[in-house]
Every structure is written in C-alpha cells, then in structure tokens.
Amino acid sequence: MTTLLIKNGRVIDPASKRDEVADVFIQDGKIVAVGKKLKQKAEKEIDASGLIVTPGLVDIHVHFREPGREDMETLETGSKAALAGGITSVVTMPNTAPIADNQTVVEFILKRSKELDLITIYPAGAITKNEDGAMLSEMRELKNSGAVAISDDGVDVDNPGVLLSAMEYAKTHDMLLMNHCETPELDESGVMHEGWVSTELGLPGIPEVAEDHGVAKGVMLAQRSGARFHISHMSTKASVASLRDAKRAGLTNVTGEVSVQHFALTDEECRGYNTNAKMYPPLRSQDHVDAIIAAIKDGTIDCLTTDHAPHIEPDKIKPFTEAGRGTVGLETSFAVMNTYLVARGHLPLAQGIALMTHKPAEIIRQAKGTLAVGADADIAIFDTEKEWVVDEKQFFSKGKNCVFNGKKLKGKAVYTIAGGKLKFDHGKIIS
Amino acid sequence: MAVVLSKKSPSAAEKDLNGFRKNRDLSFFDLLSIDQVSLEDLDLIFEVARRFRDYKTYKFSFNKGLSQVNAFFEPSTRTQASFDLAAKQLSMDTTSVGSSGSSTKKGESFIDTVETLAAYNVRTIVIRCSQAGAPEFVARHVPASIINAGDGWHEHPTQGLLDALTMLDEFKSRDLKGKTVTIVGDIKHSRVFGSLVRILTKLKAEIRVAAPETFLPDFVENFGIKTYWNVDEALVGADVIYALRVQEERGAKGDIPTLREYSKTFGISEKRLKLANKGAILMHAGPVMRDIDVHSALVARHPQSRILQQVENGSAIRKALLWLMADRVDGKVKAYTPL
C-alpha cells in the first residue's frame, strides 16, 4: 500500500467544479479523498501551500518519434519532458518509422510505455496505410491493439472520397478520427504564413485558405458521415468559424483543438529566418491570433495541445526553406497558457486547466483529467506565479527546438504525480 | 605568429580613389539586404563607384593578398562574371564553386559548405542560392564578409544598388523625389524587385507595379507602392520603366496561361514605351526574354534603353563594395558566432 497526501494546495478540478484550498489523499494509484484538512496519515506528504493542484494535464497531440527516429525523441525522453510540464497523458501521432498503421507498432508503443512506467501513452493509429491518403488502415485491428484515435497527422487526407470512406469506416468501429486539415494543392509549397512578413522575407507563403478549405471539407464530411471528427491544431479565423458554425448547427460529433503556440505567437517570430518558428500549420498574423483567442473564450475550442515536434539540431541549423518543421512544447505548454491567456486576462485559470485536462480526455473517451474520488491519481502541482526564461538546452526532451526559447513565461510545474507515484519533483525526474 | 604586411605606396589612381573615399567606412560588414544600407552608405558607395567606372578595367592593388569565393548555387552569367572581374581588378584571388560540382550535392549541409570555404581565410564570399535568408544565416556564423548575390525570392542587393546608380545618374540627382518608376512583371518571384523596391523607397521615388494578380505577393502595397493590373495605366507618367523577367524556374509556371498571352498583356513594346514620359528610360536586370518581357527592338541599342549601362554600373558598384568591405580604414572586424 502506497499513500500520499497533498496538503493545503488550491485544488482546481474543473471536471468536479472544485476550486478551493484543500488536501488530496492518494492510495494505491487512486484518489481516495479530496477535502479540507484531511485526517488520513500518509507515507509521504507534499506541502502545496501557495501552489495549485490540478489533474495531470492531457495532451492529445504529440510526436515522440519512436520507433524510428530515436535520435530526435524516444518514448522515454518524451515522457520525461511531459512530466516536467505537468503532463501525465499524451496521444502520440502515428507518423513514426514505421508508421503506426498496424497493430505491431501500436503494441510496441504500449509495451514500451508500460515498461517505462512514467506517463500514460495513448497511441493514435494512421487513417490510411503509410499515411499516403489512398487505402484505409485496419482500424478495427488498431483499436483492438489499443489505439485511441486515427490520424494521418503531418498531412491531410487530401482525397475527399477517401476521407469520407475513412469517416464512415471509423464510425463503424466507433473510432475517433483526427485530421490535419490543410489542402496541399493550396499550400503553394509554402514554408510560413503568407502575409506581409513572408513577402518581406521573400519566403514562399502558405495561404490561410489551405487550412480553411481543409477544415470546411472535413466538417462537411463529418456532417455527412456522423463520425467522431476532431480537427487538429487550428490556426485561422475561418477554420475556427467553421467549427463554431458546426457546433451551432448541432454537430455534436465535431471537436477541435488549438496548439498553444498559435494563440501566443505570430508570424513575426519568423524574422531573422528563425527556424524554430517554422511549423505546420504556420504561426499566423495577429488577426488570426485574435480570432483564435476569441474562439477559446467563447467555448468553440475543445482543448489545447502542444503538437510537440522534436528535431535534431542539424534539421534546424539550415536555411529556413529546408529546415525541419515543428516546435517542442511539452515543458512549456502550461506556462504558455498561463502567460498568454490567464495572466493577460483572456481566460479564468480554471477554464484554461479544463482545456488541458478533462476536455481533451473526453474527446479520446479516457477516464483522465479529473481529481474526482476514485480517479487515477495523475496530478500536477504548479506554481502559477513563478517567472522563468525558457532555455531549450535545459529540456528533458531531445528536441532543443522551441519557439519559446529565450522568452519569459509565468508558471511552472513543481511536482507531477502519475499513477499515484511522485515522478517529478522540483526539476528532477524520480524513477 | 601574426605577420604584418606593409602596403606598397599607392599609385596615382589609388590616391585618386582614396580622395573620393575620404577615409569613410560602411556601416555594415555583410551585405544581405538593402535594409542594412544607410543613406550615408549609399553616398559613399555611389561616389566611389562612379570613380571606379571612370577607370574601367584598371587593376588596383587595394585588395591584394585577399581572396574571394564566388559561391553560386544557382546559375548566373552576368552577376558571377561581374563579381569575379571586380575582385580581380582589385587584385584579389578568386575561385568559384557551384552546386553541380559541390559537396552540397553529396549531402553536405549549406552551413558546412560555407564554413569550409570561410576556413580558407577568404575575405569575401559571394553567395547566390535558391533559399531566401540563407546568406543571412551563414553570415552570423563565419568571419568572412558575406555578399548576397540573390537569395530565393528575397533580395539581390548589388542589383538594387546598380539600378539606383543608373537612375540617379540619368536624372543627375541625389535622390529620386518626384520621379515615377513603373515595375512590370513577375514581382512575386523576383529578388530584383525585393532590393529595387527597398532602395527606391529610400531614395523617395514614387513606385508603381504592374502585374497580373498571380504575380503579386500578399500585402505588397505595404512597401508603399501602387499596384496596377493594366500596364498601360501604370506607364502613363512614368520616368523609368523597369521590366522583370517571368521566372518560370522559380515557380511562375501556372501563374500565367502562356508566355504568348503574357507578352501581349504586359510585354513592353515600342507602343507602350510611348505612354511613359518623354525621355523615360527602360531598364531590365537581365536576362531578357526577347519579345516576352521586352520587345526585341527595345533591348540593348534603343536610345531609351539603359540595359547595358546597368551592366557597366554593376561592375563599378561591385568594385566599390569589395574595396569598402574588404579594406576597412577603421580596422574593425566582423563579429560572428561559430556554430
């Protein structure tokens, strides 16, 4: 029997509508009691005075690169990076090598994750074989081996006929379909948002309509198919408007996420040909950022993610057009949310936490993201006042490519508990 | 141990040039964008370049003992020849590398290639490449002075400088206030435009652009220019007509139906030339696609054409730059951070 008592923290559990100073008592990996001045005796006590105690964060969009590109990230380094950011559950995207379009890869990830015993990893399988947008993957096999969703992340399922079939087939097996919505014929081989900054830098731009079109197509097909359809990393005015309209029209099967960098930063970050700011979808202009924040505030957006995308250094010390795409984010996502949404007065803290805990857990239908009695004891304890300057060299992640590098953020994980065990304590992983 | 080299006494021509330079230095160590170039820099470059022009191919010893690499990762005729001759006429040793015979084809990264070239202790590296920003990126990490000779769709600063010199000499003025420059053609894929629009803005010209919408990048009017779909309207009242080539190799294919239709709609003909102000000049950065962007009769020998004057000015501008950049009076050296 292992027991742990977290005392005197401000417990914020949006799923239980709790926001009060209280204690949390954990036994054998489960939450046993939450309340004021608990009497239980525990083997270990954590004094959380002045800190907030939340469910461990759930990030349904990450790239851990294993199997295949263990030089960029492994399930181990990715999991440690997650713990350092207060994240205890992730959904890994299937674009590994080989691609997770078959049960073997899914089973490998689950087996390795169990051995590691760090966080909960939910693999996503591919929508199509080899993510080439042609033949459907064996979704029933993927589901039975433990995949919680399917996605061809990195690319859209370009052919609408294939996407419709994929949705109808996914619906048959009650599988969540996540889609990277970006019509390739409209992206003009761009490397950043098309706008004034791309014009000044002379870089090929990706017009926003590439995403707008992809999202509109996806919503239309979701309406037709009735499949559970989730839009990955939205970044434009029109794509959040499409999602808002879909919800108003009563499409309860459609959800959407925003990656935290897309409400925090603009395409100005690309100046100086900063390759850390190269990502797909690209960082947009301020008008898009404003629309994204408005959509977060009015409830259009269902959850926040990182799209954590680690790269080796040689992929980023390249001319911008050739550099690897993506930014790491697991160790900064809470701080980014707290800094750019809460501290700036856009969102109450509890609402931000909801978007990073029970709301994403509901999308993947996993019993995570809550501190309710009986729930898995996945808990994050943050200091919301702590100000720090991001230094990517200090990350647990192998990916030292962070678009927030050098920026001052507010809020940091102090302790992270996963499966009832203290795994992260003041900057150190405990294993 | 450092060896101190003494300079032999300057020739009369060199003394003459020194008289124009008046111990001035440029504000920059690498030339990556016209944005870096101040009005004082412009005065210095133009004054020295004009004098170099008078000396034609005279061999100066200013940069003797210094070396230059011309790293042209994309095809070039005039720019490469011009930089090479300029360096040689300043007594520099030069060598050239290109993408077909270089290690980049063997998978070497861009920065490793340029770092290796810099390790030969060369003073200047002239870079042309297809990736916007690549010269800026390597400039931060090598001690050699980097000169951008065209990076993707971004800039071609020495072209902008020679174009400005050609216009200023034509109008015998220190700026282009009150002059209208109409730029016609493939704006979006043109690095020539990227530098031209920046330098014309610095010199206070009124800038117009005529192109089909597919050749106009987003928010191009933010440069402070006026855009036209009708070239004839854009030409009325112009003092300079600047034609740009359709850059099929840089992605312009598909932006226009055919070159035939483009030539009819936007090509500069004798008739169109007459719409501009009397005495207006015609410029083109080359290579000209005869009868497509500019009609054959107008190309080199037409009285209003300044195309060959541009080439001559290019030589003078590059000599001025190489001297000013490689042979600093203040002795300051470039700061850089090795990777």
Asked if pLDDT for residue B1 goes beyond 60, the answer is no
CB contact under 8 A, B110 and A198: no
Burial of A248 (0-12, 13-18, 19+ CB in 10 A): exposed
Asked if pLDDT for residue A43 goes beyond 90, the answer is yes
Interface of A with B (CB under 8 A): 189, 194-196, 198-199, 201-205, 207, 272-273, 314, 317-322
Within a domain: A168: yes
pLDDT value at residue B77: 84
Q: What CATH number does the domain containing A24 carry?
A: 2.30.40.10
Task: Say if residue A237 is in the same domain as residue A331.
Answer: yes
Within a domain: A369: no
CB contact under 8 A, B217 and A204: no
Q: Place B293 in a pLDDT band, splitting at 50, 70 and 90.
A: confident
Mean pLDDT along residues B3-28: 87
CB atoms within 10 A of CB A139: 22
pLDDT value at residue B75: 85
Task: Say if residue A225 is in the same domain as residue A241.
Answer: yes
CB contact under 8 A, B109 and A199: no
Please check whether residue A213 is in contact with residue A156, taking contact to mean a CB–CB distance below 8 angstroms. Answer: no
Within a domain: A370: no
pLDDT value at residue B299: 79
Task: Say if residue A65 is in the same domain as residue A36.
Answer: no
- Give the gap in angstroms from C-alpha A208 to the nearest C-alpha of chain B: 12
Handedness of CA B165, B170, B174, B175 (dihedral sign): negative
Residues in B touching A189 (Cβ below 8 Å): 251
Helix (H, G, I), strand (E, B) or coil at A151: strand
Task: Say if residue A270 is in the same domain as residue A327.
Answer: yes
Within a domain: A143: yes
Task: Say if residue A291 is in the same domain as residue A144.
Answer: yes
Least confident range of A6-10, A22-26, B286-290: B286-290
Please check whether residue A428 is in contact with residue A416, taking contact to mean a CB–CB distance below 8 angstroms. Answer: no
Please check whether residue B327 is in contact with residue B320, taking contact to mean a CB–CB distance below 8 angstroms. Answer: no
Asked if pLDDT for residue A2 goes beyond 70, the answer is yes
Rounded-to-integer distance, Cα A107 and Cα A117, Å: 15
Q: Place A356 in a pLDDT band, splitting at 50, 70 and 90.
A: very high
Rounded-to-integer distance, Cα A175 and Cα B27, Å: 62
Asked if pLDDT for residue B105 goes beyond 90, the answer is no
CB contact under 8 A, B218 and A205: yes
Rounded-to-integer distance, Cα A400 and Cα A405, Å: 9
Q: Place B103 in a pLDDT band, splitting at 50, 70 and 90.
A: low
Q: Place B241 in a pLDDT band, splitting at 50, 70 and 90.
A: very high
* Active-site residue, selected from the candidate residues A267, A307, A315, A376: A307
Range 197-256 of B in CB contact (< 8 A) with A: 217-220, 222, 251
Within a domain: A95: yes
Please check whether residue A363 is in contact with residue A122, taking contact to mean a CB–CB distance below 8 angstroms. Answer: no
- Give the gap in angstroms from C-alpha A138 to the nearest C-alpha of chain B: 37
Q: Domain boundary residue among A363, A398, A421?
A: A363
pLDDT in tens, B32-43: 999 999 999 999
Task: Say if residue A35 is in the same domain as residue A61.
Answer: no
Strands (E), B78-225: 93-98, 124-129, 145-151, 180-184, 206-210
pLDDT in tens, B107-140: 678 888 888 888 999 999 999 999 999 999 999 9
Asked if pLDDT for residue B253 goes beyond 90, the answer is no
Mean pLDDT along residues A51-80: 98
Residues in B touching A273 (Cβ below 8 Å): 132-134, 136-137
Within a domain: A402: no
Rounded-to-integer distance, Cα A429 and Cα B278, Å: 78
Task: Say if residue A81 is in the same domain as residue A142.
Answer: yes
CB contact under 8 A, B152 and A205: no
Within a domain: A396: no
Please check whether residue A412 is in contact with residue A404, taking contact to mean a CB–CB distance below 8 angstroms. Answer: no
Within a domain: A111: yes
Task: Say if residue A314 is in the same domain as residue A417.
Answer: no
Asked if pLDDT for residue B159 goes beyond 80, the answer is yes
Mean pLDDT along residues B145-169: 98
- Split into its structural domains, chain A has a count of 2
Task: For residue A131, give both structure tokens.
Answer: 């993510």
Task: Say if residue A27 is in the same domain as residue A91.
Answer: no
CB contact under 8 A, A198 and B131: no
Q: Indicate if A307 belongs to the active site.
A: yes
Residues in contact with A365: Cβ distance below 8 Å, sequence separation at least 6, in sequence order: A148, A176
- Give the gap in angstroms from C-alpha A204 to the nearest C-alpha of chain B: 8
Question: What b/e sequence results for A291-328 when a residue is b if at least 16 CB atoms lie within 10 Å of its CB, and e otherwise?
Answer: bbbbbbeeebbbbbbbbbbbbbeebbbbbbbebbbbbb
Task: Outline where A298-378 has alpha helix (H).
Answer: 313-316, 333-337, 349-354, 358-363
Rounded-to-integer distance, Cα B301 and Cα B312, Å: 14
Nearest residue on chain B to A270, alpha-carbon basis:
B133
pLDDT in tens, B76-96: 888 999 999 999 999 999 999
Task: Say if residue A298 is in the same domain as residue A156.
Answer: yes
Mean pLDDT along residues A94-101: 97
pLDDT value at residue B250: 64
Query: Which amino acid is present at B38?
Result: S
DSSP conformation class of A56? P
Phi, psi of B207 (to 5 degrees): -115, 130
> B131's torsion region: left (phi>0), alpha (psi -120 to 50) or beta?
beta
Task: Say if residue A415 is in the same domain as residue A335.
Answer: no
Q: What CATH number does the domain containing A193 carry?
A: 3.20.20.140
- Give the gap in angstroms from C-alpha A322 to the nearest C-alpha of chain B: 8
Domains of chain B: 18-155+313-326 (3.40.50.1370), 157-309 (3.40.50.1370)
Residues in A touching B251 (Cβ below 8 Å): 189, 204
**Residue A413 domain boundaries:** 3-52+377-386+408-429
Task: Say if residue A161 is in the same domain as residue A276.
Answer: yes
Rounded-to-integer distance, Cα A340 and Cα A363, Å: 24
